Amino acid sequence: MTSDVRTDVRADHGGVGSRLLRLQLRGHAVPVTAVLLLGYVLARALSTSLLALFWRAFPDGPWSTAYFHGGAGLLSFLGSWDTRWYQQVALHGYPTTLPLDAAGNVTYNTWAFFPVFPAISRGLMAVTGLPFEVAGMLVAGVFGAAAMIALHRVLLVRFAPTQALWGGLLFAFGPLSFLLQVAYAESTFLFFLFVALWFVQHKRYLAMIPFALVASFTHPGTLALAAAIGVQGLHRLWRRHPIPHREWITGVAAIAVIVGAALLWPVLASAVTATPSAYFDTELAWWRAYFGPVIFVPFSPFFLLYGHLWGVWGIIVVVVVGVAVIFWLTRHSMRVFGADLWTFAASYIAYLFAVFLPTQSLLRMLLPLSPLFGHPVVSRTRTRRILSLAVGIALQPVMIYLLWVMNPP
């Protein structure tokens, strides 16, 4: 079945839903989840092989001098860059006194890294006795598989089964999919985010709150969910679609919880360190590597960085790219995503533009937009599916070299 869009299928309700979660192969009904997991295992075997090859080829690359360098072995290679910050959280928690440089500015520290992923890794370490390098990768790998399955369910609500299946596979084999198995918080965050998004699609806002809450303390970005719920409500009012009383109450509650969770982490950092701006000062420590002392102003980071790099031409580039993104989001072809996925994608892009400094980590921060893998342009026909898969596989070694060997992702 390769039709473009499913208009309103509830894949979680018996009968039709159970058929949608099975694939016919040579006359046998095979669970789609099994196909996805097999694809995920193959994808991680490919990523592991590529990572090992790059480790052998560049034993003294920039990765070897990353934070808290742990040696020259493969585990150290796989556990470099921000992995070491998560390790510090898992082993030592968060500092009660912020580290300062000679000028009195806050320097890099673990308050920039949220606690859920290192806490789960720490729990696995306690149960198994494994070192963080191994436990963190196991947690990331398992949640990566769970995130792929959750993404498939999100896509299945809106798209045909073939497109939903391939959306999950393209996620598993994507250019940045190697990040699903290193000890970063991305895969854990994506699982909770995609499950929360699935509940949003079904207007089950109370049920989504626990997942959104955990996501909020796993990685920044959950505010886009709150914005999406609010925009959807405004859209329904504008179109004069009735909103049940229960959805009003639960939707507002979900928005309040997500916004409250986003505010709580800076409050906790302030309370523990007795420094009112502890979290923001910590985040800006990474910005100072580019500009020196700087003040955060919402919706300024893109202009700040590219203006610094290229002057007025950098500002022009940001404006042109911004207009292009708006044009892309408002094209008729984007209607296939429906109000739920479209508002989330638009809200998340707006969130990044508002708060994120667009260094090389911007590519990693785009992973929550993975529902876009369901678009017919990448999965409608067999040719498009094969081409999309080939492009994802071909770009993966490029991304590993640029964003793991040479620079932190």
First-to-last alpha carbon distance for the chain, in angstroms, is 37
Q: Cα–Cα distance between 6 and 8 in angstroms, integer?
A: 6
Model pLDDT for residues 46-69, shown as the tens digit of each residue: 999 999 999 999 988 888 777 666
The reported pLDDT for the residue numbered 5 is 41
Residue 10 phi/psi, 5-degree rounding, is -100, 90
pLDDT value at residue 25: 60
Only one residue has tokens 């290229």, namely: 310
Per-residue confidence band for 29, with pLDDT thresholds at 50, 70 and 90 = confident
Length of the chain equals: 409
Residues 271-293 have a mean pLDDT of: 93
Three-class secondary structure of residue 307 per DSSP: helix
The whole-number pLDDT of residue 22 equals 63
Of 366, 345, 404, the C-alpha closest to 154 is: 345
Alpha carbons within 13 angstroms on the beta-carbon side of residue 90 total 28
4: confidence class by pLDDT, cuts 50, 70, 90: very low
Task: Report d(CA 237, CA 244) in Å as an integer.
Answer: 12
Alpha-carbon span 217 to 266, nearest angstrom: 11
| Both tokens assigned to 290 | 């580019």
**Integer Cα distance of 118 and 114 in angstroms:** 8
Tens of pLDDT, residue by residue over 341-388, are: 999 999 999 999 999 999 999 999 999 999 999 998 888 888 999 999
Exposure string for 162-185, b = 16+ CB within 10 A, e = fewer: bbbbbbbbbbbbbbbbbbbbbbbb
Using an 8 Å Cβ cutoff, are 111 and 105 in contact?
no
- Output the pTM of the full model: 0.93
Q: Report the amino acid identity of residue 91.
A: L
